[in-house]
Amino acid sequence: MTRLPRLIPAALLLAAPLAHAQELSSPTTFVEFEEVEGQLEFSGVMCARPLQVSNAAERGQTPEEARRLQELARRALESFELKEYVGATDEYLFFVPSGATETSVANDLLVTGAFQYVEPDWTVYPIACPDDSQFNQQWHHQANRMASCAAWDQETGDPSIVVAICDTGILLSHADLQLHRQEGYHAPSDTWESQGGPIEDINGHGTLCVGTSAANGDNGIGVSGVGWNLGHRTMRVTDSTNGGASLSNLTRAARSAAEVGDKVASVSYSGVQSGSVNSTGTYVRGLGALLVWAAGNSSDVLSGSRDDDVIVVGATTSSDALASFSNRGSFVDLTAPGQGVRTTNDSGGYSNVSGTSFACPMTAGLCALIWSKNPSLTPQQVEDVLRMSCDDLGAAGVDDNFGFGRINSDIAMQMTPATSVGISFPVARPDEVSPAGGDILDVIVTPGTDAADTAAALVWFDTGAGFVSEPLPFIGNDTFRATFPAAACPSQIDYYFEFPLVSGSTALAPASGAAAAYSAQAIERNIVFTDDLEATSGWTAGLAGDTATTGVWVLVDPIGTAAQPEDDHTLGGSLCFVTGQGSPGGSLGENDVDGGFTTLLSPAIDVSTSADPYIGYWRSYNNSAGSNTDDVFTVDVSADGGSTWVNVETLGPAAEAGGWARTTFRVSDLVPTTGSVTLRFIAADLGSGSIVEAAVDDLEVFELCPANCGFQSYCTSSPNSSGLSAVMFPGGSASIGANDLLLVASGCPGGTIGIFAYAPDRATAPVGNGTLCLGSVIRLGVASADFFGTAVFPFDNTAPPNPSGQVAVGETWNFQFLYRDLAGGGALFNLTDGLSVTFCP
């Protein structure tokens, strides 16, 4: 890899085009970075975060001024070789140029006044002290310390509440760490365990931390974690046997854990005062989780605000003194037992260990225990319970030795408010539903201090015209069943649930209701062509002019590495195209792409008969496993046999971590929809020190939301004086061209008179003796029921009652019959249920 030369400071380079920058920000204090061996060491990479527009007012700037500074920052960074952009936290990782230092680079950028921070992407280390003398028991669980047994009488942990231990890995075979282990993750390659990411403990520190937080309890062996029935996930952050990891890998692990729904990320490493750590803490909180970080073992005083977005934990001894090695100061939130802590080790047994490394996962486990008792709490509410339940040590109140004090599990459980009801989903909420409607979703509402009124629950749907409610039927065993309505294709359906409680209060799911509603996409795909690559099927691997010496495309059952998937993508299949096949247990670079590029061509695909074709394929690309990440993977499409090509996507040169991902595109957006559309996949090795692997599988052509038509009943009807509940049925078809739709209302009182009506939207509102199922009601015409209580009305789509009632192909309209019911008393009229009609040509 060649680094860009350091020509002139970025601030001077940008002075002319942005001469007014000095009006927007005052000069920044100069910084100087020094390495501390075994704690903070330079990695050759820097981390920079531009000033954030969201904080402009705090700096006395207008949003426009802040945006100008952001542009200044991004232009300044163009002078450096980018390693990675972290969109979640708006951070840039870039290499220190040859001839420059971390300090000079930071000051060149900070002088612009356009950055929140510029700092090294430090290599940091696990913070553990040598083992103290052996203990025969876990003193920290005793009644005069954390009072864990009393806490476990109230809550032992919910397996669905997961603590992510961001550390050196885990001994997968340890007998005390088997229960509720979740899939692991390998941060250096951004690869999950199922994709081949290694998570075995490379140093030993990680297994010690996992056991402190979540070692399985009540199993007759070993030790118990703070939350011994919690879920736990290993996020391995390093491939170094000394445990050293970059801050960017640690923060990547914490973000990835929160992104998959883990509630707490625990990091027992140095580097807590990095600006990137707090940015990550803010991001993690935004996802409803917490980041807990060890204070460190240097006996230092850490200045700063403990009211930031990271919980910083110091360590105490068995006598409730501050451990001599523990960092302290205004930056530390609280303390936890951290000396002579008995926990699991990577030999399959148990050790007594000391360090804030173990106070940290102990605190993370207690956060998860609080969430287990009340999953509806916000991250701030969990931290409030954690702080207020501490035993006050040292000077009265919050102090700079112990912060809020030493954690106490029993008091934390007592202070955690019980849930009124618990709301959960037995299966995952759907990402996609049928546009025709009818998909179901069950919701379980378990009683707590209160219970749901099973007859009054509602589900609110918004298919594009605003939220309308429908009754949510109770089907027994604390379970309610929602049925998704019909909607345009494609479109988004937003929804939430409302549960009136016996006490008179109301519970919503999600808790913010319409403001943060769940959503699903109403989509239908008509598959025109598919190729699962379980046979060659006319593909061409390698072309004249290719220059790669190894790693050429081949159709195989892949042998996985940290850079290459272990399995193809096809469910039940085995084959896919990969760039070279290594041997079992071989090195990463054994048969990766080297010396140039290799090309893979799909067979010619006829999309000329499809109305509006899309192409989708699954691919994996990894260029991040070596020391160089300047390589690219290019996908192009041609509609003229390869004479001309149009780019579909290019991955790299920024680091790509591999793993199967799907790409789809609309053919007509790029090329004509001809009978000979071809895809071209090119994997290239452009520099030394690189490891490049790519894979392709499961190509398909599909039409999105093909023309369809049909009928669906929805809403409910109430009994009338005949003893029946009147319902709607269709006659004829939903074809606009045929124009033969008959609206039929059955079960009405014999001889009654009523009105047929329709609407483009829905409602669920009590009206008369029944329920109005239409939103913007448009009257159609009067009809009389026969002796048997059946009324029929021919719907003429060429002559709507008013222009707003015009029906078009692909639209869904809703119909209902309102009828007189004098014998029924009350309001003297009633209504059928609703009939939904999706019209086709």
Contact 379, 283 (CB under 8 A): no
How far is C-alpha 734 from the chain's CA centre? 40
For tokens 């936290």, the residue is 89
What pLDDT is stored for residue 241 in this prediction?
A: 86
- Give the model's pLDDT for residue 751: 93
Q: Is the pLDDT of residue 287 over 50?
A: yes
* Secondary structure in 3-state letters for 443-470: EEEEECCCCECCCCCEEEEECCCCCEEE
Identify the helix (H) or strand (E) that includes residue 725.
none
Predicted pLDDT of residue 23: 33
Q: What is the mean pLDDT of residues 669-674?
A: 94
Q: Look up residue 736 and give its DSSP letter.
A: T
Q: Tens of pLDDT along 637-668?
A: 999 989 999 999 999 887 676 788 889 999 99
Averaged pLDDT of the chain:
86
Average pLDDT estimate for 689-699: 90
User: Residue 152: what pLDDT?
Assistant: 62
pLDDT value for 254: 96
pLDDT at residue number 818:
97
Contact 176, 222 (CB under 8 A): yes
Is residue 565 reached through a cis peptide bond, with omega within 30 degrees of 0 on the bond before it?
A: no
pLDDT for 396: 94
For position 342, what pLDDT does the model report?
A: 87
Stretch 663-691: mean pLDDT, rounded? 90
Instruction: Find the mean pLDDT for residues 298-306.
Output: 91
CA–CA gap between residue 466 and residue 458 (Å, rounded): 15
Q: What is the mean pLDDT of residues 6-11?
A: 33
Q: Which pair of tokens denotes residue 329?
A: 């100061």
381 class by beta-carbon count within 10 Å (0-12 exposed, 13-18 middle, 19+ buried): middle
**pLDDT reported for residue 427:** 78
- Give exposure, 202-211, as e/b (b: 16+ Cβ within 10 Å): bbbbbbbbbb
Nearest by Cα to 196 from 463, 588, 575, 734: 588
Instruction: Supply the pLDDT for residue 20.
Output: 30
Across the range 24-30, mean pLDDT stands at 46
**Residue 587: its pLDDT value, please?**
79
- For residue 768, the number of C-alpha atoms closer than 13 Å in the C-beta half-sphere is 22
| Phi, psi values for residue 442, rounded to 5° | -90, 145
Across the strands, what pairs with 123?
41, 246
* Residues near 550 by beta carbon (within 8 Å), at least 6 away in sequence: 580, 591, 592, 593, 594, 595
Q: What is the mean pLDDT of residues 45-69?
A: 87
Cα–Cα distance for residue pair 488/809, rounded to 1 Å: 11
Residues in the chain: 841
- pLDDT tens readout for residues 508-548: 888 778 877 888 988 887 788 889 999 878 999 999 999 99
pLDDT tens string 482-509 = 999 988 878 899 999 999 999 998 988 8
469 CB-side CA count, 13 A: 14
Of 8-12, 277-281, 351-355, 374-378, which has the strongest mean pLDDT? 277-281
Q: Cα–Cα distance between 249 and 263 in angstroms, integer?
A: 19
Encode pLDDT of 98-111 as tens digits.
999 999 999 999 98
The predicted model gives 295-313 an average pLDDT of 92
Rg of the chain over all Cα atoms, to the nearest angstrom: 32
Query: Is residue 697 within 8 Å of residue 553, measured between CB atoms?
Result: no
